[in-house]
Amino acid sequence: MSKQTPIRADRNQITGRHYTFASRMAKTPKSFIREILKVTANPEIISFAGGLPNPALIDVDGIRKAAATVLEQEGRNVLQYSTTEGYLPLRQFIADRYKKRLGLSVSPEEILITNGSQQCLDLIGKILIDAGDHISIERPGYLGAIQAFSLYEPVFHPIKLHEDGPDPVMLAQVLDTHPVRLFYGVPNSQNPSGITYTGKRRRELASVMRKTTTLFIEDDAYGELNFAGETMPSMREFLPDQTIITGSFSKILAPGMRLGWVVASREIMESIIIAKQASDLHSNYLSQRIAYEYLDQQDIDAHIRKIRTAYKNQCDCMIRMIAETFPESVSYTRPQGGMFVWITLPDGCSSMDVFENALKENVAVLPGSPFYIDGGGMNTMRLNFSNSTDEKIVTGMGRLAKVIRGLCGTSNSANSSKRS
């Protein structure tokens, strides 16, 4: 959407029987995904709707050993209150890994441990967004970020996402005409689209942003799950003082431990620490200690290679099924990593209709419109490949192809155009 028509929800208050809720509650979308996941909890349904890692790839045995060790050796300590910033050796591990993986210099003082990376988004909204402030986000953009930021009542300026990344001309135009506090993006294997920004595009975006005071919020939940392309530099390399990175152990270790982290310059970190302390004092210390013990004792690189190989196979299987069975008029992305493929149906073909008809065949998909803060995307949908076996992918995609052919066309082979 253009700068002329910023999106702003009504300021109407929700009035309860006895009390009035804060106006921000009227602006926060209920998670459509959450509602869909309730529908698809039935185990007979093959679900491509969620965003769960493959549970078979959680190293339960390694985590069990790590838990036993920390509780045996330091039980009284790991169960007590701890520091707001998080366990220092874990923060040092994360800093060392940035150096090793990306050649990026990060000090442990620039890292704070959060309850999963979703909490990073809440903390960032809390310290940066006043009601009415302008922020930018990819279009389509990650629903969890839309929800987290909406609670701080910003004006959203979505930036069109092309196959090589967000549109730099559109970003320049928005930044030129509004004091934009932050631009939120997922440069590696984006959620929902699966797109990875090219190196060229990263440099172009950095060059646009360098002239401004806008912060780039780099959500890097999927950077370690890059199974097909080269490893890309962090935006912090181009915008060292202007980038906040969010990271997660959910995709490489285990989601149930709720461990993520945020990387920010010391000045910003001071505010994040205050916000974190007011939010919940500190993150689960037992989990932090278990995670560090695991990372110290096990070969995390070998474990991540295993996840990458499995996800590549699952992704290839899904893409093959699309190419062989979907109508030609359907386009789709070819992810280099992450957990999602993004489908664009022909104009006028509704993904909500596909959702409803597929559900009758015991297959669940996620319609794409909730990822468009300004409406639109009615013919798009997100498919998750990480949480299904090849067998389920073949069966489920076969059924889905029939539904789509029935609703959107009759031809048999689809186009691998990345998205218009």
Number of Cβ within 10 Å of residue 405's Cβ equals: 16
Binding test (CB under 8 A) with its own copies, winner from 181, 236, 303, 382:
181
39-68 mask for its own copies (x: CB under 8 A)? Answer: -------------xx-xx-x-xx-xx--xx
- Confirm or reject binding of residue 169 to its own copies (CB under 8 A): no
* Inter-helix orientation angle 300-325/390-408, to 10°: 30
Considering only residues 335 through 364, tell me which ones interact with its own copies, judged by CB under 8 A: none
201-220 mask for its own copies (x: CB under 8 A)? Answer: ------------xxx-----
- Confirm or reject binding of residue 7 to its own copies (CB under 8 A): no
Binding test (CB under 8 A) with its own copies, winner from 221, 235, 275, 300:
275
**CB within 8 A of 315, min separation 6: which ones?**
227, 228, 335, 341, 385
Binding test (CB under 8 A) with its own copies, winner from 118, 226, 234, 246:
118
Query: Shortest Cβ distance from residue 46 to its own copies (Å)?
Result: 18
Choices 89-97, 100-108, 116-124, 164-172; region in contact with its own copies by CB under 8 A: 116-124
Which residue, among 152, 205, 203, 161, has the nearest Cα to 181 in the 3D structure?
A: 152
Considering only residues 75 through 104, tell me which ones interact with its own copies, judged by CB under 8 A: 75-82, 84
Query: Shortest Cβ distance from residue 214 to its own copies (Å)?
Result: 8
Helix (H) or strand (E) holding 343: strand 340-344
Binding test (CB under 8 A) with its own copies, winner from 173, 198, 271, 298:
271
Which residue, among 256, 257, 233, has the nearest Cα to 245 in the 3D structure?
A: 233
Beta strand 215-219 with 243-248 is: parallel
E-assigned strands of 13-121? 46-47, 111-114
| DSSP structural state of residue 365 | -
Of residues 251 and 343, the one with the C-beta less far from its own copies: 251
Query: Shortest Cβ distance from residue 113 to its own copies (Å)?
Result: 12
- Confirm or reject binding of residue 248 to its own copies (CB under 8 A): no
CA 149 – CA 125 distance, rounded (Å): 5
CA 249 – CA 414 distance, rounded (Å): 35
CA 380 – CA 140 distance, rounded (Å): 10
Query: Shortest Cβ distance from residue 106 to its own copies (Å)?
Result: 18
Question: 384 near 48, Cβ under 8 Å?
Answer: yes
Binding test (CB under 8 A) with its own copies, winner from 7, 22, 39, 169:
22
Query: Shortest Cβ distance from residue 43 to its own copies (Å)?
Result: 13
State both tokens at 93.
């591990």
Look at the block and give the residue holding tokens 């401004």.
212
Query: Shortest Cβ distance from residue 409 to its own copies (Å)?
Result: 35
Binding test (CB under 8 A) with its own copies, winner from 140, 144, 168, 370:
144
